[in-house]
């Protein structure tokens, strides 16, 4: 009897903890979304409210009247993230294919090499990278933010782990007997087989690129080239100092697309995290 | 001359066939190289070359916006000496470890607790899927946005946190949170914790689910309590995943940039939230554009990260090796005893 009571108390505590953490996750965003519809005066009187007000369009006018342009940031981020994601998943799968299917002399050495470069911190690359891009006059260009994604060691590692149990060499061999070229086999037979892994890696690659701040911040100096995170950092500056409603609205505009995508794909994202192939 | 016997002819043909097969295999091997070309090219151009360049710059007098030429210094390690002697860099280094540590400790403890709760086989928690999705959510949001959002939440004089504390009667006057060193640091650590505990929890859950259930059953038969099961079954079996979490978190944490850079203006009171990444950014891309010193600082950070990762791996590896050796010795002893 006593034990039963103890267990039900523990269960109760567990639910209390989970609900408290849920509130912790949701409240900041809730406050942000509600405040994006309220005027600065209202926010100054009471910064927390659960009731939306009617100043959404007014805030939008103030927000876009200054340097913050969500549409431009959105477009630039879409271009860069999509380009980088395509590069990452396609070429990582190709590299993994080379590591799994072909028997070449430096195969194992190359795999160890890929494992080693996963540890390189981006700080070490950034200054030399900036100087290199500056010298070839490619700052304010999206290509330096897209093309490096071709070499994504973490993704290659993940793809290789996924490919080994899925791909049987017999499939490749029978395609060869039918006269298919190696490149054709990869594109038409292997890529479709890798779809689940590609989907998972694509989501994470996209989100990572979308959220990236350091490199875009040092490479893109023209405002019409800003990505969403660089655009967001404008909200910190003096021009929006007292326009609280507009700041919250600007933040909301950057968060909403991510939240929508997240809740649509959360099943795959959680499964992907569980595989441990995420941390960059 | 002897004419080849029919048997030998057969053998020759067999050898020839073998040779042809091998030749075919060799001709496929070249595709292994070809398919790696894009990766190797991109890596060389965008990672290897910049790294060498960064290292090189660290030994020169390269500074100033738009500068193109540089000279090697008479004392090649001058920049390193300047950086290591700089009080700002030391503050930044100390802050980085402090901010990371205060986020990692609660993060791993809470993640472990939640992982154990969610994998409890006897008392299933309802709504697990929902909780996982919600706990992981902050991780997906742009760190830059999160930093500015929290900056606003802790705003002065009328931020939501001040408003709440005043409504609850905890404070009478609004508190200027970001002017306190401890609070500014605490908020940075809290944000890091808040963004990452869900992710760590999910990784740990999949780790616990991967443990052979028979081990738990055996422990239950032996009458182990929940706490004992956690201590003697769960924790040892999670070791590899815990090392992985620790190392990835350390590497990520020592490069912390977005949150401290955007949460408080000018890295907070007395550089309270200045991290080494912010320091490097400030050196290289603002003020007097000291690329050389920033490069030296990056190199120092790389060395610190490499040494720490190696130490973590070494300690953990060594322990498991020692334990295995001990077990092996004990078994040998038993076998010997049984034999005698």
CA distance A189 to A186: 6
- Residue B13 — very low, low, confident or very high, per pLDDT cuts 50/70/90? low
How far does A151 lie from chain B, in Å, by closest CA? 5
Which of B25, B26, B29, B31 is best to mutate for the A interface (most A CBs within 10 A)? Answer: B31
> Can you tell me whether residue B60 is helix, strand or coil?
strand
Q: A108 is in which domain, residue-wise?
A: 70-231
List Cβ neighbours of A215 (8 Å cut-off, separation of 6 or more): A122, A126, A129, A145
Instruction: Indicate which CATH number applies to the domain containing A112.
Output: 1.10.3720.10
When CB atoms are compared, the residue of B33, B203, B265 closest to A273 is B203
- Residue B331 — very low, low, confident or very high, per pLDDT cuts 50/70/90? low
Which pair of tokens denotes residue B169? 């009667």
CA distance B261 to B254: 14
How far is it between the farthest Cα atoms of chain A?
A: 77
Q: What is the pLDDT of residue B8?
A: 53
Q: What is the mean pLDDT of residues B132-153?
A: 93
ipTM of the complex: 0.88
Does residue A195 form part of some domain? Answer: yes
Which pair of tokens denotes residue A68? 């913050």
Q: Do B28 and B88 belong together in one domain?
A: no
- DSSP character string of B275-330: -HHHHHHHHHHSTT--HHHHHHHHHHHHHHHHHHHHHHHHHHHHHHHHHHHHHHHH
Note the pTM of the prediction, 2 decimals: 0.85
Q: Up-side HSE of residue A263: CA atoms within 13 Å toward CB?
A: 7
Terminal CA-CA length for chain A: 50
The alpha-helical segments, DSSP class H, found in B44-63 are 49-57
Task: Please count the structural domains in chain A.
Answer: 1
DSSP B124: P
Between CA A195 and CA A202, with CA A199 as vertex, the angle to 5 degrees is: 130
Q: Which residues of chain B does A150 touch, with a Cβ-Cβ cutoff of 8 Å?
A: 38-39, 41-42
Does residue A268 form part of some domain? Answer: no
Q: Do B318 and B225 belong together in one domain?
A: yes
Q: Do B136 and A211 touch (CB under 8 A)?
A: no
CA distance A202 to A77: 15
Does residue B31 form part of some domain? Answer: yes
Task: Please count the structural domains in chain B.
Answer: 2
Does residue B228 form part of some domain? Answer: yes
In residues, how long is chain A?
Answer: 280
Asked if A205 contacts A58 with a C-beta cutoff of 8 angstroms, the reply is: no
Q: Which of A123, A146, A142 is nearest to A226 (CA)?
A: A142
The alpha-helical segments, DSSP class H, found in chain A are 2-35, 40-45, 56-65, 70-101, 107-117, 122-135, 143-146, 153-166, 169-177, 182-185, 191-193, 195-211, 214-219, 228-234, 244-274
Residue with token string 């028979």: B214
Does residue A127 form part of some domain? Answer: yes
- Residue B26 — very low, low, confident or very high, per pLDDT cuts 50/70/90? very low
Q: B39 is in which domain, residue-wise?
A: 1-57
Q: Is A135 on the interface with B (CB under 8 A)?
A: yes
Q: Do B322 and B274 belong together in one domain?
A: yes
Q: What is the pLDDT of residue B4?
A: 47
Residue with token string 């309802």: B126
Kindly state the percentage of chain B with pLDDT values over 90.
Answer: 48
Instruction: Indicate which CATH number applies to the domain containing B163.
Output: 1.10.3720.10
Q: Do B131 and A270 touch (CB under 8 A)?
A: no
User: Is B3's pLDDT higher than 50?
Assistant: no
Which of A19, A127, A154, A266 is best to mutate for the B interface (most B CBs within 10 A)? Answer: A127
> Can you tell me whether residue B122 is helix, strand or coil?
coil
Q: Which residues pair with B60 in a beta bridge?
A: B72
Q: What is the pLDDT of residue B311?
A: 87
Q: Which residues pair with B72 in a beta bridge?
A: B60
Does residue B68 form part of some domain? Answer: no
Q: Is B200 on the interface with A (CB under 8 A)?
A: no
Q: Which residues pair with A267 in a beta bridge?
A: none
Peptide bond into A154 cis (omega under 30): no
Asked if B260 contacts B274 with a C-beta cutoff of 8 angstroms, the reply is: yes
Q: What is the mean pLDDT of residues B229-248?
A: 88
Q: Which of B55, B256, B48 is nearest to A148 (CA)?
A: B48
User: Is B10's pLDDT higher than 70?
Assistant: no
When CB atoms are compared, the residue of B49, B54, B152 closest to A127 is B54
Q: Do B92 and B208 belong together in one domain?
A: yes
Q: Is B53 on the interface with A (CB under 8 A)?
A: yes
* For A26, nearest residue in chain B (alpha carbons): B134
- Residue B121 — very low, low, confident or very high, per pLDDT cuts 50/70/90? confident
Q: Is B39 on the interface with A (CB under 8 A)?
A: yes
CA distance B189 to B107: 10
When CB atoms are compared, the residue of B29, B114, B158 closest to A102 is B29
Instruction: Give the best-scoring range by mean pLDDT among B94-98, B312-316, B321-325.
Output: B94-98
Convert the pLDDT of each residue in B168-185 to its tens digit.
888 888 888 888 899 999
User: Is B135's pLDDT higher than 70?
Assistant: yes
Asked if A273 contacts B202 with a C-beta cutoff of 8 angstroms, the reply is: yes
Q: What is the pLDDT of residue B69?
A: 78
Does residue B66 form part of some domain? Answer: no
Does residue A104 form part of some domain? Answer: yes
Between CA A193 and CA A203, with CA A199 as vertex, the angle to 5 degrees is: 165
Q: Do B260 and B333 belong together in one domain?
A: yes
Q: Do B101 and B37 belong together in one domain?
A: no
Q: What is the pLDDT of residue A39?
A: 87
Q: Do B127 and B162 belong together in one domain?
A: yes
- Last residue of some domain: B12, B28, B57? B57
Q: Is A254 on the interface with B (CB under 8 A)?
A: yes
Q: What is the pLDDT of residue B309?
A: 85
Phi, psi (degrees; rounded to nearest 5) at B42: -60, -40
Which of A14, A50, A122, A123 is best to mutate for the B interface (most B CBs within 10 A)? Answer: A123
User: Is B120's pLDDT higher than 50?
Assistant: yes
Does residue A145 form part of some domain? Answer: yes
Q: Which residues of chain B does A244 touch, with a Cβ-Cβ cutoff of 8 Å?
A: 152, 155
Terminal CA-CA length for chain B: 69
Q: Do B50 and B91 belong together in one domain?
A: no
Q: Do B133 and A104 touch (CB under 8 A)?
A: no
Mean pLDDT by 10 residues, chain A (280 residues): 73 92 94 90 81 85 84 94 96 95 91 87 88 92 96 92 89 90 92 91 92 93 93 81 85 90 90 63
> Cα dist. A43→A153, B156, B165, B194, B253 in Å?
47, 12, 15, 25, 34
Q: Which residue has the higher pLDDT, B17 or A57?
A: A57
Q: Do A255 and B164 touch (CB under 8 A)?
A: no
CA distance A155 to A95: 10
Which residues between 211 and 250 in chain A have a beta carbon less than 8 angstroms from any beta carbon of chain B?
211, 213-214, 218, 228-230, 232-233, 235-236, 244, 247-248
Does residue A43 form part of some domain? Answer: no
How many Cβ atoms sit within 10 Å of the Cβ of residue B52? 11
- Residue B17 — very low, low, confident or very high, per pLDDT cuts 50/70/90? low
Does residue B72 form part of some domain? Answer: no
Q: Do B323 and B185 belong together in one domain?
A: yes
Q: Do B153 and B39 belong together in one domain?
A: no
- Residue B334 — very low, low, confident or very high, per pLDDT cuts 50/70/90? low
Q: Do B132 and B201 belong together in one domain?
A: yes
Q: Which residues of chain B does A94 touch, with a Cβ-Cβ cutoff of 8 Å?
A: 35, 38-39
Q: What is the mean pLDDT of residues B31-57?
A: 94
Asked if B256 contacts B275 with a C-beta cutoff of 8 angstroms, the reply is: yes
List Cβ neighbours of B252 (8 Å cut-off, separation of 6 or more): A279, A280
Q: Which residues of chain A does B131 touch, with a Cβ-Cβ cutoff of 8 Å?
A: 18, 21-22
DSSP B234: I
Q: Do A121 and B301 touch (CB under 8 A)?
A: yes
Which residues between 26 and 85 in chain A have a beta carbon less than 8 angstroms from any beta carbon of chain B?
26, 28-29, 31-32, 35, 43-48
Does residue A11 form part of some domain? Answer: no
H or E element that contains B42? helix B6-43
Asked if A104 contacts B32 with a C-beta cutoff of 8 angstroms, the reply is: yes
How far does B182 lie from chain A, in Å, by closest CA? 21
User: Is B266's pLDDT higher than 60?
Assistant: yes
Q: Do B42 and B96 belong together in one domain?
A: no
Q: Which residues of chain A does B257 touch, with a Cβ-Cβ cutoff of 8 Å?
A: 213-214
Phi, psi (degrees; rounded to nearest 5) at B281: -60, -45
When CB atoms are compared, the residue of B47, B136, B241 closest to A270 is B136
């Amino acid at each position: 009897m006593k034990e039963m009571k103890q267990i039900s108390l523990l269960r109760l505590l567990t639910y209390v903890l989970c609900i408290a953490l849920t509130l912790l996750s949701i409240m900041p965003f809730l406050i942000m979304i509600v405040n994006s519809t309220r005027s600065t005066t209202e926010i100054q009187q009471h910064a927390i409210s659960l009731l939306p007000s009617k100043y959404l369009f007014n805030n939008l006018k103030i927000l876009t009247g200054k340097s913050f342009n969500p549409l431009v940031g959105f477009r630039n981020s879409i271009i860069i993230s999509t380009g980088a994601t395509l590069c990452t998943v396609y070429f990582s799968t190709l590299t993994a294919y080379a590591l799994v299917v072909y028997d070449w002399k430096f195969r194992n050495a190359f795999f160890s090499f890929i494992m080693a470069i996963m540890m390189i911190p981006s700080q070490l690359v950034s200054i030399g990278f900036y100087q290199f891009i500056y010298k070839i006059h490619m700052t304010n260009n999206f290509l330096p933010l897209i093309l490096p994604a071709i070499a994504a060691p973490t993704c290659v590692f993940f793809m290789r782990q996924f490919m080994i149990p899925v791909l049987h060499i017999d499939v490749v061999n029978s395609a060869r007997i039918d006269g298919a070229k190696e490149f054709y086999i990869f594109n038409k037979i292997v890529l479709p087989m890798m779809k689940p892994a590609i989907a998972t890696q694509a989501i994470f690659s996209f989100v990572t690129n979308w959220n990236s701040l350091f490199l875009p911040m040092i490479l893109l100096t023209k405002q019409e080239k800003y990505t969403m995170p660089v655009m967001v950092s404008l909200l910190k500056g003096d021009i929006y100092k007292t326009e609280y409603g507009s700041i919250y609205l600007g933040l909301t505009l950057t968060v909403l697309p991510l939240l929508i995508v997240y809740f649509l794909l959360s099943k795959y994202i959680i499964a992907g995290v569980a595989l441990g192939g995420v941390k960059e | 001359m002897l004419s080849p016997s029919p048997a030998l002819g057969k053998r020759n043909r067999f050898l020839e066939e073998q040779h042809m097969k091998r030749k075919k295999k060799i001709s496929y091997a070249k595709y292994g190289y070809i398919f790696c070309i894009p990766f190797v090219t991109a890596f060389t151009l965008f990672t290897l070359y910049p790294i060498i360049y960064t290292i090189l710059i660290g030994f020169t007098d390269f500074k100033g916006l738009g500068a193109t030429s540089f000279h090697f210094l008479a004392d090649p390690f001058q920049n390193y000496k300047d950086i290591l002697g700089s009080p700002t860099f030391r503050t930044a280094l100390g802050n980085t470890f402090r901010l990371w540590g205060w986020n990692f400790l609660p993060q791993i403890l809470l993640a472990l607790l939640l992982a154990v709760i969610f994998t409890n086989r006897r008392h299933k928690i309802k709504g697990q899927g929902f909780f996982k999705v919600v706990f992981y959510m902050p991780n997906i949001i742009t760190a830059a946005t999160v930093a500015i959002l929290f900056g606003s939440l802790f705003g002065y004089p009328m931020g939501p946190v001040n408003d709440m504390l005043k409504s609850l009667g905890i404070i009478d006057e609004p508190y200027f949170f970001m002017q306190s060193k401890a609070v500014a640091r605490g908020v940075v650590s809290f944000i890091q914790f808040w963004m990452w505990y869900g992710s760590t929890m999910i990784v740990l859950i999949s780790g616990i689910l991967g443990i052979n259930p028979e081990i738990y059953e055996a422990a239950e038969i032996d009458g182990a309590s929940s706490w004992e099961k956690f201590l003697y079954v769960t924790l040892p079996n999670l070791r590899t995943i815990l090392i992985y979490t620790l190392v990835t978190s350390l590497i990520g944490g020592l490069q912390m940039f977005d949150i401290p850079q955007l949460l408080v203006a000018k890295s907070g009171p007395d550089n309270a939230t200045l991290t080494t990444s912010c320091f490097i950014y400030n050196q290289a891309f603002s003020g007097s554009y000291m690329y050389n010193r920033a490069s030296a600082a990056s190199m120092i950070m790389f060395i610190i990260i490499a040494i720490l990762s190696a130490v973590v791996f070494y300690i953990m590896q060594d322990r498991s090796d020692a334990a295995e050796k001990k077990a092996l010795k004990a078994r040998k002893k038993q076998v010997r005893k049984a034999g005698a």
